Amino acid sequence: MVAVADRSAAIRPGDILGFATLRNEMQRLPEFLDHYRKLGVAHFLIVDNASDDGSADFLRGQPDVSLWTTPASYREARFGLDWMGALLLRHGHGHWCVCVDADELLVYPHCDSHDLHALTGYLQARGVAGMGAMMLDLYPQGPLDQPGPGGSVIQQLPWFDPGPYACQILQPRRNRWLQGGPRARVFFADRPARAPTLNKLPLIRWNWRYVYVNSTHSMLPARLNDLYDGPGDPRLSGVLLHSKFLPGIGARSSEELARRQHFADPDAYQTYHQALTAAPVLWHPGSVRYRDWRQLAELGLIGGGDWSNE
């Protein structure tokens, strides 16, 4: 990694930090940064993997962003974990860290009135090391890749699957394996075990002894994987609004077919990427239009614990 704009000297004790690795996310970056700034992230540490859409130039100009770039293989870097892990080790210790992709916007109970400082204060007072979240795929009503109404992610992708979702525990690390939603329903109906993993651990009070193992889906020490049991878990949890299906998904899927960087076994997911290039319709009669975190709580997709009494 080469430092392009290292402003990490500006980080202060108590700052909440945001970490991400990305490639060609210019269409999402303004909303991404705005969302997490409003939640209370003070500084972003981002690795850009050879973007050619202006992402790096845009990030270089943001005063609260430290930026590194690398042309190296995303797959050989454990899908970017080695890059992000190096930054977490160097800068994250003792800080609450938000570790997300550029297509993920975190929401949680009372996020419209209680920022991440309030949330992490609640967790820290109870000796809780982090908060889990479910990745919730958002999609349009019509075929993917059709020009939409513009605006925010939610305006462009207003629909989601309220269920079913199933979570299992895998040994020996006790990592959770949450599956379901439109990708399981449309692309993996005949091979459900291959459906993407939806559980993540995006908010952690970082310690130099910690490490992400499989994206942000699982961690070591193994006890950290017990922080989240998926939908229905009564403890405080969040949802990552996932904007994978914005217009342009077809071109990105075609590129991935050629680059072969996003799966340990790319051949096993060729039909998935090929299906995405055909711009299918993900909407079905069971789809629900997204409203807010209260709706997610009513559906049992996020938990509040006793946070609602704060």
pLDDT tens per residue across span 185-243: 999 988 888 899 999 999 999 999 999 998 899 999 999 999 999 999 999 999 999 99
Mean per-residue pLDDT of the chain: 92
Strands 165-170 and 175-180: antiparallel
More confident residue, 102 or 258: 102
pLDDT tens track for 51-103: 999 999 999 999 999 999 999 988 888 888 999 999 999 999 999 999 999 99
**Distance (Å, whole) CA 71 – CA 146:** 31
User: What is residue 292's predicted lDDT score, i.e. its pLDDT?
Assistant: 97
State yes or no: pLDDT of 308 exceeds 90: no
Closest CA to 62 of 83, 46, 51: 46
State yes or no: pLDDT of 253 exceeds 70: no
Order of all β-strands in the sheet with 41-48 = 2-5, 65-69, 41-48, 16-22, 96-99, 199-205, 130-137, 238-242, 104-107
pLDDT band at 14 (very low <50, low <70, confident <90, very high): very high
Q: Both tokens of residue 207?
A: 């310690």
CB atoms within 10 A of CB 292: 11
User: What is residue 266's predicted lDDT score, i.e. its pLDDT?
Assistant: 53
Q: Both tokens of residue 92?
A: 């994250």
User: What is residue 276's predicted lDDT score, i.e. its pLDDT?
Assistant: 82
